[in-house]
């Protein structure tokens, strides 16, 4: 058990399975993380600023170009918010820093091509 996180580029019509998980005509996994708590905290803060309520668990959030560019600043300047949770693990910002930056660049490229960028986590 633990915090698992994904980001993907999606496009096209969605279908929903019996568990409520959406699958799209086109979906490309851009990144996967295992126990990156401060990224989770940043995403949860963003989700709440968009009106999200309750547990930020098994919730997808769409990321705009502006939000991805803001995330890049946080990653580069070591500004991700310290976040703790029973299943989250220790701070892993340095471990994931290059992967985070690579994800952001790739996500921005896909967004320019008309894809929606989505972050999802499960703990």
Q: What is the mean pLDDT of residues 95-107?
A: 98
**Three-state SS at 92:** coil
The angle formed by the CA atoms of residues 99, 97 and 86, to the nearest 5 degrees, is 100
Average pLDDT, the chain: 95
- Give pLDDT tens digits for 37-63: 999 999 999 999 999 999 999 999 999
- Give pLDDT tens digits for 9-48: 999 999 999 988 888 999 999 999 999 999 999 999 999 9
In what side-by-side order are the strands of the sheet with 22-34?
A: 22-34, 4-16, 116-122, 60-63
d(Cα 65, Cα 104) in Å, to the nearest integer? 9
Q: How confident is the model at residue 87 (pLDDT cuts 50, 70, 90)?
A: confident
């Amino acid at each position: 058990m633990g915090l698992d996180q994904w980001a993907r580029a999606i496009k096209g019509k969605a279908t929903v399975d019996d568990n409520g998980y959406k699958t799209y005509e086109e979906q490309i996994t851009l990144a996967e993380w295992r126990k990156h708590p401060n990224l989770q905290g940043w995403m949860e803060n963003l989700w709440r600023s968009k009106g999200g309520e309750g547990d930020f668990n098994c919730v997808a959030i769409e990321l705009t170009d502006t939000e991805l560019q803001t995330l890049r600043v946080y990653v580069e300047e070591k500004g991700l918010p310290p976040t703790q949770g029973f299943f989250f693990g220790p701070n892993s910002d340095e471990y994931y820093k290059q992967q985070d930056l690579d994800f952001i660049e790739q996500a921005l490229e896909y967004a320019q091509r008309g894809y929606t960028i989505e972050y999802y986590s499960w703990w």
